[in-house]
Structure 1
Amino acid sequence: MTHPVVEAIRTALAGAGDPQRAASQQAYMKSSMPYRGITSPQLKALLRPILADPAYRIEERTQWDGAVRDLWDHATHREERYAATALTGHRAYRAWQDPGAVPLYRHLVVTGAWWDHVDEVATNRIGPILLSHQEILTPTVRSWATDDDLWLRRTAIISQLTFKERTDLELLADVIEPNLADSSFWIRKAIGWALRQHARTDPAWVRATVSGYGDRLSGLSRREALKHL
């Protein structure tokens, strides 16, 4: 049974948008799924009253998981998937941001399979759970670094982007190392991004790490890593 919040979101999105903008958005994102032409600020404004309305509050974790999957898996337009991601991160469901949510987020990463979905989940969903449950989640993130799925590997690499001095350097090295030979732009960019971000906190470690990788580090990753050093 579809939860009322899912119906409310679908109805709100269906009544908004700009067909001309939608075509441009779809082309820019190289998306097979069409857009409605709703901008990010417009989407936030549409979702805010729905997610804050007690009438649409989800009371049980299984219902929350199901509502997110329903909105995501049956999306006809890309904004519905953005709304599903917003639903996962709403403050009303903060208590469920723990290792139990990881299978849901893994599903969003693997089926989303593009940077707009993956980067949000990796840095703002998986990342905070990793930081607060390191002992439990570190083995999972480390295993993703060698998964066949490119987007899980990217998630592992960028999951600590916001950690600053709390970055687990051993884990960061462990998720980068097996991906050094990967020729994918998305992996090489992720490696450079992760190193560049940590360079703001520990430039000496990043310089030494880049030097240690030598020619195994791609030019793209190297340029990104050293951009501000």
Structure 2
Amino acid sequence: MHSWNQSVKLALVPLANVENACFMKAYMRDQYQFFGIQSMPRRTALKPLFAKSQRPSFDELPDVIDELWAQPEREFQMVAVDLLIKLKNQLPLAMLEGLERWITTKSWWDTVDMLATHIVASFFVRFPEKTAEVIERWRLSDNIWLRRATLLYQLKFKQDTDKDLLFELIRENRSDKEFFIQKAIGWVLREYSKTDAESVVRFIETEKIEGLAKREGLKWLKSKKLV
């Protein structure tokens, strides 16, 4: 194990909580093992390792992330995500390839959503053409998590959202009954409704968006009594 990851493990093991671990495992549908450490204590314990002088180099980073991804306890993957987010504005373009691997391995909303809204988003801002090529490939994928990432990467873009592309991606996925796709459609529509309510309402009506996606998409506007 890479020495940085070894230090991560040494910091986490003493914080293990069996009761929390059982609850977390059940919440995540028994897919992963857990130490049972909540995010705040985890981040506090690892703060020294996230200092610039202690972090792995960019050359080491893909191997470090791969190794964290391979560990059975879910906290390791969350540490990997935190590390990527910490470095998101400096990550080299070459790491886009790794990103696809991490989105499609041990996939669940807790990792995929953070990778999409932070890392894919940052790559798109810094390397728009190259990232757009990747998005074009992902949008055609059978993998629901890659498609969820294409729906969500613009989540925080507000007025910088490519509305035409967003609506196109939603049209492509609207008939997919998968919960995580419908939820993503609703979430991104809800978030974009805070920027352009009129377009979202018109889109939902004209495209006859129904069910979960519609409920989620209109939730914020309804709470503000705007629809």
Aligned: 1:80 with 2:79:
no
The percent of aligned pairs where both chains have the same amino acid is 29
What residue number does 1:57 align with?
55
- In 1, distance between residues paired with 2:40 and 2:185? 30
What residue number does 2:25 align with?
26
Unaligned runs of at least 5 residues, structure 2: 222-227
Q: Which residue, out of 72, 85, 89, partners 2:85? A: 89
- In 1, distance between residues paired with 2:83 and 2:108? 19
**Contact 1:192–1:222 (Cα < 8 Å) also in 2:** yes
Q: Which amino acid aligns with 2:77?
A: R
Aligned: 1:151 with 2:145:
yes
Deviations 1:8-58 (A, max 9, x none): 00111122121011101110111322111101101111111112162x332
Q: Which amino acid aligns with 1:95?
A: Q
Q: Secondary structure at the match of 1:201?
A: coil
Q: Which residue, out of 52, 65, 69, partners 2:66? A: 69
- In 1, distance between residues paired with 2:191 and 2:52? 37
What residue number does 1:168 align with?
162
- In 2, distance between residues paired with 1:142 and 1:195? 20
- In 1, distance between residues paired with 2:194 and 2:55? 40
| 1:104 Cα offset (Å) | 1.5
TM-score by length of 1: 0.91
Unaligned runs of at least 5 residues, structure 1: none
Cα-Cα RMSD: 1.6
What residue number does 2:225 align with?
none
Q: Secondary structure at the match of 1:62?
A: coil
**Greater Cα offset, 134-143 or 11-20:** 134-143
| 1:94 Cα offset (Å) | 3.8
Question: Quick check: which one's helix share is greater?
Answer: 1
